Amino acid sequence: MSRHHRKRHDWSLLWAARFVAKWEGFIPTAYLDTIASPPVWTIGYGHTHGVRPGQHVTEAEARRLLAADLRDAARAVAAKVDVPLSVRQRIACISAVFNIGPGLLEGTHFIDALNHRRYTEAANRLLEWDHAGSVVVEGLSNRRHAERWLFLHDGSRAAKVKVHKHHALHTSLHPKGAHA
């Protein structure tokens, strides 16, 4: 990897971490995320690997864990996406893969559209991944809308992402069972 590419990659990870942290929030004590399917022990900014009940982290430790977790998501995006991406598109993809898992990049409508340069369709496909189990989760829906907006906008004009509130729970199954 060239020095220039590495520097750009590091900056996009820093920007991705800033974006992701807003959605994950910081929790210093391990908790069992029961919305996830199956439930998983989680800590810091959504870190799950090797987390044990009763474990504690500082915010600095949590940021390091988040950066490591995002590197894995960034590597998955780099390995599976065959088309050029802007920094914002890459950040949106990294955020989605971090939250949903690398399955987003395996045989889904999202990756098919993206790798066929159907960028708008790919962005819209992100909106399908707003379920925990069989229930639409408002926080996931809001996050997917923010990722979609980031994916589609080049930053030349500022705008707020519209937050959608569901008045009734939608119970249709997501094709891949996305989780928080």
SS3 track for 91-156: HHHHHHHHHHCHHHHCCCHHHHHHHCCCHHHHHHHHCCCCEECCEECHHHHHHHHHHHHHHHCCCC
19 falls within a domain:
yes
177 falls within a domain:
no
pLDDT 10s digits, 63-90: 889 988 899 999 999 999 999 999 999 9
β-partners of residue 72 are: none
- For 89, what's the count of Cα atoms within 13 Å in the CB-facing half-sphere? 20
48 falls within a domain:
yes
Task: End-to-end CA distance of the chain: give it in Å, rounded.
Answer: 32
Task: Please state, as a whole number, how many other Cβ atoms lie within 10 Å of the Cβ of residue 51.
Answer: 18
168 falls within a domain:
no
Q: CA 59, CA 57: separation in Å to the nearest integer? A: 7
165 falls within a domain:
no
The CATH number assigned to the domain holding 94 equals 1.10.530.40
Structure tokens at 2: 């060239």
pLDDT 10s digits, 20-79: 999 988 999 999 999 888 999 999 999 999 999 999 999 989 988 998 889 999 999 999
pLDDT 10s digits, 84-113: 999 999 999 999 999 999 999 999 999 999
Q: CA 152, CA 124: separation in Å to the nearest integer? A: 10
Quote the number of domains for the chain. Answer: 1
169 falls within a domain:
no
Q: CA 159, CA 123: separation in Å to the nearest integer? A: 17
Owning domain of residue 76 = 3-152
